[in-house]
């Protein structure tokens, strides 16, 4: 996955697999829906467990710190937590890769709740 990381990312190379694992864990455990309303924006809905909001905000803040091309917006929504991710045109491929990663990591919940769309 790290082959698409742009030169503008300042996260040390050795730390990148750990960050990928954090995103994968978040997606696998909490992602309810992912959609792409336009080419430069990705919308995710995660379940509303109390620890999820804090975890999403922390991860988004750390990712913004090393990859300033991301704009993360975290807000409550009726289904739980909404995470909007936007990039500029130069980083569209990074958003494509993140969407692919989210779709691959997310698995349907046993209760059938939530939809995973890419």
Express each pLDDT in 48-65 by its tens digit: 888 899 999 999 999 888
Summarised one tens digit per residue, pLDDT across range 68-82 is: 889 999 999 999 999
Is the residue at 56 inside a domain? yes
Task: Kindly tell me if the per-residue pLDDT of 84 is higher than 90.
Answer: yes
Task: Kindly tell me if the per-residue pLDDT of 113 is higher than 60.
Answer: no
pLDDT band at 3 (very low <50, low <70, confident <90, very high): low
Domain that holds residue 55: 15-105
Is the residue at 4 inside a domain? no
Beta-bridge partner residues of 19:
none
- The residue ranges of DSSP E strands in 27-79, in sequence order, are 31-38, 41-47, 71-77
pTM tops 0.85: no
pLDDT band at 14 (very low <50, low <70, confident <90, very high): confident
Q: Specify the number of domains making up the chain.
A: 1
Q: Which two tokens stand for residue 108?
A: 């349907």
Is the residue at 112 inside a domain? no
Is the residue at 9 inside a domain? no
Tell me the CATH number at 52.
3.30.70
Is the residue at 111 inside a domain? no
Q: What's 2-38 look like in SS3?
A: HHHCCCCCCCCHHHHHHHHHHHHHHHHHHEEEEEEEE
Summarised one tens digit per residue, pLDDT across range 19-45 is: 778 888 999 999 999 999 999 999 999
């Amino acid at each position: 996955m790290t082959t698409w990381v742009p030169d503008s990312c300042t996260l040390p190379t050795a730390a990148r697999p750990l960050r990928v694992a954090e995103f994968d864990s978040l997606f696998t455990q909490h992602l309810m829906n992912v959609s792409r309303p336009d080419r430069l924006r990705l919308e995710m809905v995660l379940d509303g467990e109390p620890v999820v909001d804090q975890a999403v905000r922390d991860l988004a803040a750390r990712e913004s710190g090393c990859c300033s091309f991301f704009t993360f917006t975290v807000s409550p929504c009726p289904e739980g937590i909404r995470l909007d991710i936007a990039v500029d045109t130069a980083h569209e491929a990074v958003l494509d890769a993140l969407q692919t990663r989210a779709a691959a990591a997310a698995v349907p919940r046993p209760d059938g709740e939530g939809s995973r769309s890419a």
